[in-house]
Amino acid sequence: MKVAYYSPLPPSRSGIADYSALLLPALRERVDVVVAEQGKRAPSADVALYHVGNDPDAHGWIVDALHKRPGVVVLHEYVLHHLISGITIGRGDGRGYLDAMERELGVAGRLLGLGVLDNLLPLLWETQPERFPLAGTILDDARGLIVHSDFVAREARRAGYGGPLWRIPHPAWPMHDVTPADDVSGDPLIGCFGFLNMNKRIPELLQAFASLRETRPGARLLLAGAAGERFDLSRRLERLGLRDGITRLDYVPEERMWSLMAACDVLVNLRFPTMGETSGSVIRGLSLGKAIVVSDVGWFSEIPCEVVLKVLVDDYEVPMLEAALGFAADHAAELGANARAYVEREHDLSHVADAYAAALESAAGGDAVDDAVLWRIAEAAAEVGIDDVAALARAARESGIIE
């Protein structure tokens, strides 16, 4: 069976590119894969697989291909407002944006969209994208859907997606010897990796860390990742008197990131609001057997409590976060062992690749199988005077015979 594979790939700097770089070799051992390239003719295949994320630059061409030829969609995050606005308004297609808003919220959505187009409302993808995910237009063309979390599965069903759906965990990177970086240290050393913005709860993290430093003056926070345009980190650090306790690094290449993570005692990965995303950074931390603190939202909530420490996003977030960081540092070995066992059990690359192959095989031939079964049932029914094919199809679907 041949699969046309649509995804950003390295050197593109995105979590989905890293994801595909990890998955592709394992998937190629199971099915025949042709990687589609932007700007080139679509490869012919039995089924097409589209990795969809929220970045219009990385995923716009993939969505275009999906609209031309429906196939299996991997929904890496549920909130796609930025993607949809980018491939509609960003291309001068305001009507497309209005259609997407209407698909989401009916006439009210269309009116809101008009408000955005006429500069009467703030840009929704910047201010409150989680309220208007706009995944509907993607789901409409999905002949099968792969998600990484129950959270996204629920949201997709709530949006009316009724087709086959597979929940396949994010694969873990096979562990190799990682030498901890020796140019960073702390007692404890707490690491936060990835793009830094309000959504990652950096202000709350800095407040909690400042409090932690009062009882643990040797603590250090490593912030590694590019900062958002409107996020003035330096001023915040100054205000909290944290200049000494912080090590700040911009984007770090993959190998360096592993090494820095390995040097940390605790990793922290906060989120709110969630866009339904899975965190490759958390998966890496679990693989390294690290104690990890996360926000109790979306996919992060689905990780077992004995594996990560989860902090609710509420009025007590900062003190709870401070306590969680301290607890994680004191129980790093135990939490780390749980993390490693969990990731080996749930995120094993070969199991993930098996699940992908099974999903793709089902998607490629599933409709034909359903049609064949229905045809024979309808034929037999017609011979005895039952010609309500729709009722037969419902019965077959309801009984689990067809999807």
Partner 1 sequence: MRVVVAAPQVPFVRGGAEVMAEDLVNALRARGHEAELVTMPFKWYPGARVLDQAFLWRLADLTESDGRAIDRVIATKFPAYCVRHPNKVAWVLHQFRQAYDYDRTELGQFSEEPFDRATRHAVERLDKVALGEARRVFATSRNVANRLKRFNDIDAEVLPHPPQTLDYRTAEPEGYVFSVGRLDRAKRLDLLIEAAKHGSFRVVIAGVGPDEERLRGLANGNVEFLGRVDDAELTDLYGRCSAVYYAPIDEDFGMVPYEAFLAEKPVLTTTDAGGPLEVVEDRRTGVVVAPDAEDLARGAAYLTGHVDEAKAWGRAGRSIAERVTWDACVDALLS
Binding positions for partner 1, 237-276, rule CB under 8 A: none
Q: Give me the least distance between CB of 395 and partner 1, in Å please.
A: 8
Nearest to 269 by CA among 184, 201, 187, 331: 201
> 317-330 vs 202-215: helix axis angle to the nearest 10?
60
Residue 4 touching partner 1 (CB under 8 A): no
Closest to partner 1 by CB, 215 or 399: 399
Q: Give me the least distance between CB of 403 and partner 1, in Å please.
A: 7
Q: Give me the least distance between CB of 371 and partner 1, in Å please.
A: 10
Residue 1 touching partner 1 (CB under 8 A): yes
* Candidate list 147, 283, 377, 383; residue touching partner 1; CB under 8 A: 377
Q: Give me the least distance between CB of 306 and partner 1, in Å please.
A: 21
> 317-330 vs 332-346: helix axis angle to the nearest 10?
90
Residue 395 touching partner 1 (CB under 8 A): yes
Closest to partner 1 by CB, 145 or 205: 145
Residue 378 touching partner 1 (CB under 8 A): no
Nearest to 190 by CA among 138, 290, 264: 264
Give the Cα separation of 308 and 12 in Å (integer): 30
Residue 376 touching partner 1 (CB under 8 A): yes
Residue 48 touching partner 1 (CB under 8 A): no
* Candidate list 373, 378, 389, 393; residue touching partner 1; CB under 8 A: 373
Pattern 351-370, partner 1, x by CB under 8 A: -------x--xxxxxx-xx-
Residue 394 touching partner 1 (CB under 8 A): no
Q: How many residues bind partner 1 (CB under 8 A)?
A: 23
**Token pair for 228:** 């958002």
Q: Give me the least distance between CB of 294 and partner 1, in Å please.
A: 26
Residue 303 touching partner 1 (CB under 8 A): no
Other Cβ atoms within 10 Å of 108 Cβ, number:
11
* Candidate list 21, 42, 43, 46; residue touching partner 1; CB under 8 A: 46
Residue 401 touching partner 1 (CB under 8 A): yes
Closest to partner 1 by CB, 135 or 359: 359
End-to-end alpha carbon distance in the chain: 21
The residue whose two tokens read 């929940």 is: 167
Closest to partner 1 by CB, 12 or 362: 362
Q: Give me the least distance between CB of 240 and partner 1, in Å please.
A: 48
Residues 54/79, Cβ–Cβ less than 8 Å: yes
Residue 333 touching partner 1 (CB under 8 A): no
Give the Cα separation of 218 and 386 in Å (integer): 79
Span near partner 1 by CB under 8 A; candidates 56-64, 174-182, 340-348, 391-399: 391-399
Residue 402 touching partner 1 (CB under 8 A): yes
Interacting residues toward partner 1 by CB under 8 A? 1, 46-47, 358, 361-366, 368-369, 372-373, 376-377, 395-396, 399-403
